[in-house]
Structure 1
Amino acid sequence: MLAANRSLRLAIYAILAAILYLPGLGRPALWEPDEGRYGEIAREMVISGDYVTPRDDFELYFEKPPLVYWAEAAAIQIFGVNEFAVRLPAALFSIGQVVVTAALAEAMLGAPAGLFAALVLALSPLFFGFARFATLDPALAFFLAAALGAFYAAARKDSFSRPSARRWLLISVAMLALGTLAKGPIALLLGGAIALAWMAIERRLRQVAQMPLVWCLVIYAALVVPWFVLAEARNPGFMHFFIVHEHLERYVASNEHGWGPWFFIPIVIGGTWPWIFFVPLGWSAMHADDGSPERARDPSGRRAAARFLAIWFVVIFVFFSIPRSKLGSYILPALAPLAIVAGYGLVRMSALDAVSRRRLLAAVAIANLAMAAVLCVFSQLVLAPINPELGVDGLLIGAVLAGGAIAMYSLGRAAPRVPYAIGAIALAMLAAVPLTARVREDASSISTYRKLARTVQPYLAGDCTLASYRHYVQSLPFYTHRRETRVEYWGELSEVSLPSPGRSSFLIGSDARLRQVWSSGACMILIVNDGDRKALADSLKPAPVVIGCEGKKLALYNGALAPPAGAADCLKSETKN
């Protein structure tokens, strides 16, 4: 039975989300490149004491604002330099978004809708995955959801001149300001566009004059401006790079992570599986006539709420679909409105007539069985050759989805047993979604280098140089606590300031210079892709010794210490590859 007290209900949702997201949070190694990059930036803030200028490998890094770095740095100071501390802010922001989404669903559609909206969001595969991944998007998604929820609370008062409405508006602006500090002015752009578009459709644009615009500007500026002013003062040219290059040029011209406009369609479907099938039911139920003629005129009614949620989703989906540069995490801010609509669809399941309910459940069951079959085939043909344990993981997830689908359909054919049917699919997702954490651990050799870092750590005594050849392993400085010299590679670290090779001791600009440094007698460990090892082995003198490997990378050493036990296996693995 639902708790009678709203605050208690929301607290329960927060506790359950924490139980879902926090256990084992620090077990997997940092994934390349994002987790290694953001963890290292936070670590360097802690050891340098400079919380104004973000640095990666002690080079200026102005791609993103600092709020998430600050949160990670605070966690590092409390819990130490480890994976749990780096991922904790993402988990906490995700827990917060579950609570905010539930609260907004309650305000729009009642307490049962809040419960199911929290369930849908918390157990959506994409949301769960990034709740346990150190990146900036969970923070943006949380602040945007909080801002839009506060705006909706203000808009329900009919007039923005009421004191309570004005307070909610100021809270909304504060959330947009924090979102700006989390990922840039995109928070203000998206939040403002959604609010204004909804007001235009509701024919309420004239009410903008009732808003405390001056106070909104003051609060936004007070939270956002100080860091930007300090960053520009300490790093002249920062504002031009941040606004023009990182936002405007990247949006219209960047081909990094290039995908077509269709990219987010499968991401949304797979990322909200299987709850996406209940969105049409929730949408139609929000527009159903319940005998209240005033509903269509009431801005706080279900139809107005439905339009608000639709605009929220569409604006974000379209905005991120336009540029070629796309990542799956970009769509996270659009999941909350889908969760609310799908949650209301689950609430209305019992009210469906028997034929419609069975058809819906049959469609969900068939889709889940098909997905289970695809996962089983994929796991054996693609994952198992990489790692047999990955093949087992895929089979387990497929089996859980299939079992949940069959149980849901069997239980849900009778109206009184619909809650049991929902419980069956929820339990299936509760089992399947955490299995993805196991998949991530079993796939660690694909894009993590904690093992390699631990292997080379004993060889980095004194002034021994840690270097990488034509790439930059983001997590190595985090794990080794040593700066990484880059050989013939700048990447994104060159975009703010490009020191010449002659002035930087952390850039080796040519193979000739590498051979000179390698043969100078100074200790060096060089991280290379296995495809480059043979050519380097032929050109470097003294001949490099392989001291470790992980995935496709090997550690070459020019010193006198003996390689660790098992290092010879790296060459055997290379031959197999």
Structure 2
Amino acid sequence: MLATNRTLRLAIYALLAAILYLPGLGRPALWEPDEGRYAEIAREMVISGDYVTPRDDFELYFEKPPLVYWAEAAAIQIFGVNEFAVRLPAALFSIGQVVVTAALAEAMLGASAGLFAALALALSPLFFGFARFATLDPALAFFLTAALAAFYAAARDESFSRPSARGWMLTSAAMLALGTLAKGPIALLLGGAIALAWMASEGRLRQVAQMPLVWCFIIYAAIVVPWFVLAEARNPGFMHFFIVHEHLERYVASSEHGWGPWFFIPIVIGGTWPWIFFVPLGWSAMRADEGLPESAKDPSGRRAAARFLVIWFIVILVFFSIPRSKLGSYILPALAPLAIVAGYGLARMPALGAVSRRRLLAVVAIANLAIAAVIFVFSELVLAPINPGLGVDGLLIGGAMAAGAIAMYWLGRAATRVAYAIGAIALAMLATMPLAARVREDASSISTYRNLARIVEPYLAGDCTLASYRHYVQSLPFYTRRRETRVEYWGELSEFSPPSQGKSPFVIGSDARLRQVWSSGACMILIVNDRDRKALADSLSPAPAVIGCEGKKLALYNGALAPPPGAADCLKAGAKN
């Protein structure tokens, strides 16, 4: 039974989301490259005291604005240099988005819709995954959701000139400003486009003149402009690089993470599973009064809310589908409207006719059983040979989904037990969440290097150089507290200010120079991919000793200390790879 007090309900949703996202947050190692990069930028802000200029491996890094780095740095100050601290902001932003989504769903469609919208969002696989991942997108998703919720609250007034509407508009402007500091002007672009498109669909564009746009601009500028001005003053050329290179050129020309326009379709379906199946029901229920006379239409404005949500989703989907450069996390700001529509569909389940309800539940159950079967086969044939633990994880996830599907269909046959049916599938998804977290831990050897850092750390005494060959391991400086010298690698760390050849002591520009440094007698640990080890072993003198490995990377050493026990096993593992 729902709590009668709205504030209490939202506080309960926040508490439940915190219980879901916070336990074990710091247990997995930082995933390469994103988590390692953002963690190290925040760490370097703390140790340097410079919160204006982001640096990665102490090189200028202006690809993203600083708000999430600031949040991670604050967490590091409180909790220390560890994985929990750098992931905490993403978890808190995600908790906040669950609460805001529930509040917006309540305002649009009632308390039950708010409950189920919170449930659908919090237990969506994609949302859960990034709530426990140190990246910028949860912050953008939260601030954009909050900005659009505030705008919708303002628009529900008959006039934008009313004090309550003006207050909500100013709140929306502040949220867009914080979203801009989280990931750039994309927050303003998307938020403005969604709001204007919806106003046009409602025939209310004339009301734009009633909005307190001057005050909105003042608030937005007061939050955003100071950092941009300071960053440009300390780093001339920053604004051109940030606006032109990082946003305009990357949007129209970048092929990094290149995918076709279809990319987000499976991401959305899989990322919101199984709640995506209830979206059509929620949509049809919100549009139920289409075509009725004005006097008979639903006074709560369901159709206007439906248009707002569909425009919200489509604008974000289309915007991020156009460029070739895409990541699954980009779609996070579009999950809230889907969760609200799915939540309304879940709330309407008891009102469905028996035949329609059983048909819908049968579709969901069959789809879950089919996915469970695929997971079983994939776990046995693909995951288990890589890592037996991964195979077991996959089998447990598939089993939970199958059990939930069967229980949901059996319980949902009777209208009086629909709530139990929804609870069954929710519990099944809840059971998969810790299993999914364990999958990440069991798959750590694929793209994490915490163990490698721990192995090499005792060998980094004094002035020993930590270097990487033709790549940059983002998390090693975070774990070892040492700057990483890059050999024949420039990459994104040099996009703003490329190093002059031979002048940076932390860039070795050629194999010949590497051989000179290696043979000079100065201590060096060189992180290499296994495929490069043989060629380097033949060319470097003294012959490198392998002191550790993780995944496909090995640590080569030119010093006098003996390799740790088990280091020889790295060569055997490399031979198998």
TM more than 0.5: yes
Instruction: Give how far 1:575 is off.
Output: 1.2
2:103 is the alignment partner of 1:103: yes
SS in 1 for 2:4: coil
The answer as to whether partners of 1:466 and 1:524 remain within 8 angstroms in 2 is yes
Instruction: Give how far 1:494 is off.
Output: 1.3
2:357 aligned partner: 357
1:315 aligned partner: 315
SS in 1 for 2:549: strand
**Residue identity in the other structure for 2:51:** Y
Per-residue CA deviation, residues 127-167 of structure 1 (Å, 9 max, x unaligned), is 00000000000000000000000000000002101000000
Alignment of 1:487-498 (within 5 A): 487-498=487-498
Instruction: Give how far 1:435 is off.
Output: 1.1
Per-residue CA deviation, residues 225-284 of structure 1 (Å, 9 max, x unaligned), is 000000000000000000000000000000000000000000000000000000000000
SS in 1 for 2:32: coil
1:193 aligned partner: 193
**Residue identity in the other structure for 2:332:** L
1:402 aligned partner: 402
Instruction: Give how far 1:294 is off.
Output: 3.9
CA distance in 2, matches of 1:351, 1:402: 26
Alignment of 1:116-131 (within 5 A): 116-131=116-131
Per-residue CA deviation, residues 464-489 of structure 1 (Å, 9 max, x unaligned), is 00000000000000000000000000
1:302 aligned partner: 302
1:236 aligned partner: 236
SS in 2 for 1:479: helix
CA distance in 2, matches of 1:338, 1:296: 27
CA distance in 2, matches of 1:434, 1:552: 27
CA distance in 2, matches of 1:93, 1:380: 36
Instruction: Give how far 1:382 is off.
Output: 1.4
SS in 2 for 1:564: coil
CA distance in 2, matches of 1:22, 1:296: 47
2:89 aligned partner: 89
Instruction: Give how far 1:290 is off.
Output: 9.9
Alignment of 1:534-545 (within 5 A): 534-545=534-545
The answer as to whether partners of 1:156 and 1:300 remain within 8 angstroms in 2 is no
Per-residue CA deviation, residues 444-503 of structure 1 (Å, 9 max, x unaligned), is 000000000000000001000000000000000000000000000011011100111321
2:32 is the alignment partner of 1:42: no
Alignment of 1:92-491 (within 5 A): 92-289=92-289, 293-294=293-294, 301-491=301-491
Structure 1, gaps ≥5 residues long: none
TM norm structure 2: 0.99
CA distance in 1, matches of 2:464, 2:384: 39
CA shift in 2, pair 1:107/1:293, >3 Å: farther
CA shift in 2, pair 1:373/1:513, >3 Å: same
CA distance in 2, matches of 1:511, 1:295: 80
1:512 aligned partner: 512
Per-residue CA deviation, residues 38-77 of structure 1 (Å, 9 max, x unaligned), is 0000000000000000000000000000000000000000
2:65 is the alignment partner of 1:65: yes
2:2 aligned partner: 2
CA distance in 2, matches of 1:401, 1:220: 45
The answer as to whether partners of 1:264 and 1:328 remain within 8 angstroms in 2 is yes
Instruction: Give how far 1:386 is off.
Output: 1.1
The answer as to whether partners of 2:467 and 2:525 remain within 8 angstroms in 1 is yes
Per-residue CA deviation, residues 490-524 of structure 1 (Å, 9 max, x unaligned), is 11011100111321000000000000000000000
The answer as to whether partners of 2:97 and 2:146 remain within 8 angstroms in 1 is yes
**Residue identity in the other structure for 2:379:** S
Per-residue CA deviation, residues 185-243 of structure 1 (Å, 9 max, x unaligned), is 00000000000000000000000000111101100000000000000000000000000
SS in 2 for 1:254: coil
Identity of aligned pairs, percent?
89
The answer as to whether partners of 2:38 and 2:135 remain within 8 angstroms in 1 is yes
CA distance in 1, matches of 2:439, 2:55: 31
The answer as to whether partners of 2:289 and 2:297 remain within 8 angstroms in 1 is no
The answer as to whether partners of 1:354 and 1:413 remain within 8 angstroms in 2 is yes
The answer as to whether partners of 2:290 and 2:303 remain within 8 angstroms in 1 is no
* Displaced runs of 4 or more, over 6 A: 295-299
Per-residue CA deviation, residues 65-105 of structure 1 (Å, 9 max, x unaligned), is 00000000000000000000000000000000000000000
**Backbone CA RMSD of aligned residues:** 1.2
Per-residue CA deviation, residues 391-418 of structure 1 (Å, 9 max, x unaligned), is 1111100000000000000000110010
CA distance in 1, matches of 2:504, 2:202: 58
CA distance in 2, matches of 1:291, 1:502: 73
CA distance in 1, matches of 2:379, 2:201: 47
Structure 2, gaps ≥5 residues long: none
Instruction: Give how far 1:288 is off.
Output: 1.2
CA distance in 1, matches of 2:297, 2:497: 56
CA distance in 2, matches of 1:225, 1:540: 51
2:564 aligned partner: 564
CA shift in 2, pair 1:552/1:299, >3 Å: farther
Instruction: Give how far 1:299 is off.
Output: 8.7
2:79 is the alignment partner of 1:79: yes
CA distance in 2, matches of 1:295, 1:224: 46
**Residue identity in the other structure for 1:121:** L
**Residue identity in the other structure for 1:17:** A
The answer as to whether partners of 1:295 and 1:302 remain within 8 angstroms in 2 is no
**Residue identity in the other structure for 1:392:** V
1:30 aligned partner: 30
Per-residue CA deviation, residues 354-384 of structure 1 (Å, 9 max, x unaligned), is 1000000000000000000011111112111
CA shift in 2, pair 1:404/1:494, >3 Å: same
CA distance in 1, matches of 2:27, 2:77: 19
CA distance in 2, matches of 1:321, 1:371: 26
